[in-house]
Structure 1
């Protein structure tokens, strides 16, 4: 279940708002993302979002010109979160290709790097919008290109690199969409086997231990 977005006014660590302002632009974006993920873009309505936050509809126009402006901003947030997150992980340093792929697996563990539910919501949206479809395809191409470059850095030839990149990327999308009922321990147990398939190499014990420690902290957070 997607957690309810925390509003700026409810965040004890946020700086106080000035004057009559009760919510920020990020608040509008966060609750818009929540509705997009849960109900689809057709339910992202200015009045409904304002009522959910307990503010006037007019305050929306301090931050956005129109509903379409908000929808465009939601797509930009998706690009800045998911596409940028995966590209950054693909470029992260690692001594071996197995460690590089484990950097990609961090996207699966940490929703701050890659929000899977948001990715599915945008893909569903793209079926009804040519403009969104074009941005989705651009994002997919950028992600595959980053993964291709990652494999190339570790000695794969051009065709091998792009093939391994596509296998890794599209397999993970399909895997997440299938939502298999697997425990975190089982996934960790299978990780060495997946790495052998994706890279042709076995991971080191240190690589697995580091990834296990990293992923467990997010698994525990989601289980609370």
Structure 2
């Protein structure tokens, strides 16, 4: 049997439905209803297209699910790793780089992260991917602390506190507005770094929040 690779261009007769339309709807469905609801036929019905449109872009449902996981990694994990690895004049600036992920859901989507973690309860393969992503994120944050002079154990523990606190924040579904949270920014920075942030440090991050 000859396998035809899925296409990136819109399928003939369905020019208004792209590969990203399928992925985007699947992501929305995963977040709102869980992985069991991500099915080809219901998605096609919502998009107003036939199954042939789906198979123009994807080889199978599993192919689509793999694309959802790839998107999650390329957004949520990549954002944390990239910002933790940015050059920074001080550890306070480094931590604020990571804080950008918590302040802007275009960088890190907590609903998607939670949906993937729920999916992992039903799939050992996804569980392993979650564990790998958590390790990747933690290593990036630990290395950030190490670059700023913290010893191995201190960097490791500070990375865990910073990262696990934020993930727990999402899991508990706390409804604190960003504005209320950043009002305590200086105290958070003291807690995560052991250093005193300057007024200029705080103002720098507040400008980022205001520009979101």
TM-score, with structure 1 as normaliser = 0.86
Q: Is the 8 A contact 2:11 2:53 kept in 1?
A: no
In structure 1, the partner of 2:145 is 151
TM-score, with structure 2 as normaliser = 0.91
In structure 1, the partner of 2:55 is 61
In structure 2, the partner of 1:202 is 196
Q: Is the 8 A contact 1:99 1:203 kept in 2?
A: no
Q: How does 1:27-66 map to 2 (within 5 A)?
A: 27-66=21-60
Give the count of matched residue pairs: 203
Q: Distance in 2 between matches of 1:67 and 1:129?
A: 15
Residue 215 of structure 1 deviates from its aligned partner by 1.5
After TM superposition, the runs of 4+ consecutive aligned structure 1 residues lying more than 3 A away are 16-19
Task: Render the CA deviation track for 1:91-126: whole Å, top value 9, x for unaligned.
Answer: 112211111111111001112211111000000000
In structure 1, the partner of 2:173 is 179
Q: Distance in 2 between matches of 1:155 and 1:97?
A: 9
Uncovered stretches (5+) of structure 2, i.e. residues with no partner: 1-8
In structure 2, the partner of 1:102 is 96
Q: Is the 8 A contact 1:22 1:55 kept in 2?
A: no
Q: Is the 8 A contact 2:11 2:17 kept in 1?
A: no
In structure 1, the partner of 2:132 is 138
Residue 130 of structure 1 deviates from its aligned partner by 0.2
Q: Distance in 2 between matches of 1:204 and 1:71?
A: 45
In structure 2, the partner of 1:123 is 117
In structure 2, the partner of 1:163 is 157
